[in-house]
Structures are given as structure tokens and as C-alpha cells.
Amino acid sequence: MKRSQYPVLRGTITSINRIDPSAGILTVWCPVCRDYHEHGWTMADSARRPSHRVAHCAGGPFHEHGYLVAPWRQSDPEAVAHVAVPGRGKR
Ligand SMILES: [Zn+2]
């Protein structure tokens, strides 16, 4: 399987390292495990360039080749829920 054919799991940056803000945690939904998998994400990397990861699945179709992960793009409908509007957040 070519890398370009690997599945892309998109998700949300759920935390940023307090000591090293260039490092984040990307949480993606895995349709095989029906659960979330957490992967490291370099904050400077573009959501337009999915990055390869070893699958966190226990077996299943992603196990051999892994998958690509990336945050939601601005154009993804899911991204809207993750945009914080200043002054509109609940406290
Ligand atoms: Zn999985």
C-alpha cells in the first residue's frame, strides 16, 4: 500500500505542552476501535499535511501500515466546533 493510500484520521488538538508549546496532543477518532487514539503533534505542522503514525489499535486493518493523522482543516465542518471565539466562552 502506498503512503498516499493510507487512511487519514483527523481530530482535535486536545492539549499543548506547557513547557514546550511546540508539542501538542492530537486526539483522533478511530473507526475500527470505536475509540479515541492520542498522538503527538508538532504544532508548527500544517493540517494540510497528514503525518504518519504507528496505529494505536490492537490489531485490525490499520495495524500493518499505520495511518496518517492531522487536525481538522478550517474547511472541515467539524473544525467549527473547535474554534474558540474570544469573549464567547463559558466560564
Ligand atoms: Zn484504533
pLDDT tens sequence across 37-78: 999 999 999 999 999 999 999 889 998 899 999 999 988 888
The CA distance from 35 to 90, in Å, is: 27
Amino acid at 47: A
Please give the tally of structural domains in the chain: 1
Structural domain span for residue 29: 3-82
The answer to whether residue 26 scores a pLDDT higher than 90 is yes
Distance 77 CA to ligand 1 centre (A): 23
91, part of any domain = no
Q: Residues 10-17: what's their mean pLDDT?
A: 93
Distance 58 CA to ligand 1 centre (A): 7
90, part of any domain = no
Distance 37 CA to ligand 1 centre (A): 7
* CB atoms inside a 10 Å sphere around CB 69: 23
The answer to whether residue 81 scores a pLDDT higher than 70 is no
Q: What is the pLDDT of residue 88?
A: 59
87, part of any domain = no
The CA distance from 33 to 18, in Å, is: 30
40 Cβ contact list (under 8 Å, min separation 6): 23, 24, 25, 26
Distance 29 CA to ligand 1 centre (A): 8
